[in-house]
Structure 1
């Protein structure tokens, strides 16, 4: 009978201050935002990466992080409600506000953050495309810490893998050893994509608005789709279709489906930026 590796029992509460419990999941958000803020400030300070695009000031980055944090939280929660569990929340609408019980969608958080960045850029007379490029460069930091937090919480586990030597028996997923898909995503969507983005910025800077952001969109979509082959689909959704096609590894999941438009948008953004079609936008953004 397959045994698998024992799940490392880690208290989801990192520490407590009086009646307030500080969870690893919350710390992951803080680490991602602070790490992204620090890296973004370093990139924003390098004039050679920006010309002829408007270069943000250090104070702009300080304010931007607040806008992005609100966009991620509100968009992530809204996306989870709409994409993953709408029926349940329609039956119990007050549960929408119980964010401490979990339930965030990356794709929703991405849309929320993108909207916040566009509004922020327009309020400061900056190029929305170049600020989106900057945010895309630092986004893998938050993705890495978020997936590590998923693993610590023992949630979003992988598909059964009884013959895989490093499969893990998750405490809430039954006795079957499963892929530690959270760690796969931390590597692919976090570390690997961070390196890809760092190389892209070094090569292109933010001089071709939309190019770096397009690389992120395409890179994340490919990484997420690949990891979805190892991740168990959400229980309330299951496989959307193709569950009987062996080539699909069990079927198409919501994560795969939502990543397809990201990949298409990324390809279009890269193509437009490579042709120089977005440069005028970056130099004439209204104040």
Structure 2
């Protein structure tokens, strides 16, 4: 029998859509909705030239192609990141499991790095400003984060730390009889909804005229939000606390999620500084065309 202060976990079918033998689970649906939502929002942003200034904005067809690149980067990077950061020993003993993505195991930090690599390669292949493409992604990514964390809650995974005295604690099916923080919902609210609002205000205030500024703000915001939520989230069982140990409900130990946010915070600050100082702004067209002009005159 669950404690009096605990809420029962809602009985939600993990399969969102079933069409005969074809089943789409909530987690997969979250990725789909996140990508489609990001694609739609990105197309609206590129349709506003006033946001871009002298920075060349991508066309609608380029955004369509970019979504495919980013999707591959997120999936591959997320899986590789989980294998390297969270469960390397287990996968080394059974390498075939690395390919079993349908069994779960994705890392946001790995997906983040994979998406950055995809964005940079795409920008270089199309002659776009790589920093500006990172900014565009930063504005739309919270949409996917929100739905992804909601899917974590529906799946009853990545639950929070024990919270026996918390009025809205939940007893998760696989989390034992102890009521726990619904940390997935905390992350959906902060990394998703709150960060989306912050980035929406920032893009309308600054636009993409200072490449790297929005990307830096997003990385800083995510690092802060994720670190705060880690105090409520149960560490991965195969890792536990990397340093220190849990003390009370919030704990005092350092988790892998916290540790990975440190370089993110540093990179975000560097991006903001470079953007504010003008180091990432596109060169004037005359300077960029000078080598070509000299070649023609020769």
The answer, yes or no, to whether TM exceeds 0.5 is yes
TM-score w.r.t. length of structure 2 = 0.93
Aligned residues of 2:232 and 2:250 also touching (Cα < 8 A) = no
Alignment match, 1:252: 254
Q: What pairs up with 1:113-152 in 2 under 5 angstroms?
A: 113-152=115-154
Describe the SS at the equivalent of 1:279. Answer: coil
Structure 1 residue corresponding to 2:44, chosen from 42, 45, 50:
42
Structure 1 residue aligned with 2:92 = 90
Higher-Rg member (1/2): 2
CA distance in 1, matches of 2:145, 2:279: 30
- Runs of 4+ that moved beyond 3 A: 244-248, 280-285
For residues 270 and 209 of structure 1, what CA distance do their matches in structure 2 show? 9
Separation of aligned partners in 1, 2:246 and 2:18: 47
The counterpart of 2:105, out of the listed 92, 103, 106, is: 103
Superposed CA RMSD: 1.7
In the alignment, which residue of structure 2 is the partner of 1:277?
Answer: 279
What's the CA shift string for 1:141-186, capped at 9, x where partnerless? Answer: 0000000000000000000000000000000000100000000000
Secondary structure of the 1:207 match is coil
Alignment of 1:1-287 (within 5 A): 2-3=3-4, 4-243=6-245, 249-280=251-282
Number of equivalenced pairs: 285
Unaligned runs of 5+ in 1: none
Unpaired runs of 5+ residues, structure 2, are 290-298
**CA 1:241/1:248 → structure 2, altered by over 3 Å: closer, same or farther?**
farther
